[in-house]
């Protein structure tokens, strides 16, 4: 399997895991458990960002273009 596909596959899996951790955190009643899952999520997010930078530097991943201030304001207004 090509490295590009492996990196993108891991990025996809990590992104999914981060969302799942967030879901568990919002439903956790025990503060110690909640903190543990938050720590795991934070670690996972740091790993995801490091892998994202590798993928971007190698040309495996092209992020969306940066939004203009007008586009940002339009989205903010949609949710205001």
State residue 63's pLDDT score: 80
> Running DSSP on this structure, what letter comes out for residue 73?
H
Question: Which residues make Cβ contacts (< 8 Å) with residue 10, sequence separation at least 6?
Answer: 51
SS3 64: coil
pLDDT band at 1 (very low <50, low <70, confident <90, very high): low
pTM (2 decimals)?
0.75
- Give residue-wise pLDDT tens across range 5-20: 999 999 999 999 999 9
What are the structural domain ranges in the chain? Answer: 3-78
- Give residue-wise pLDDT tens across range 36-75: 999 999 999 999 999 999 999 999 988 888 999 999 999 9
Torsion angle (degrees, nearest 10) of CA 12, 51, 57, 69: 70
The angle subtended at Cα 27 by Cα 24 and Cα 31, nearest 5°, is 90
């Amino acid at each position: 399997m090509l490295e590009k596909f492996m990196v993108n596959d891991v990025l996809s899996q990590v992104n999914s895991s981060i969302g799942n951790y967030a879901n568990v955190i919002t439903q956790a009643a025990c503060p110690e458990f909640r903190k543990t899952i938050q720590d795991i999520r934070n670690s996972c997010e740091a790993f995801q960002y490091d892998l994202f930078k590798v993928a971007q530097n190698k040309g495996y991943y092209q992020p969306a273009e940066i939004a203009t201030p007008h586009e940002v304001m339009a989205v903010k207004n949609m949710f205001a």
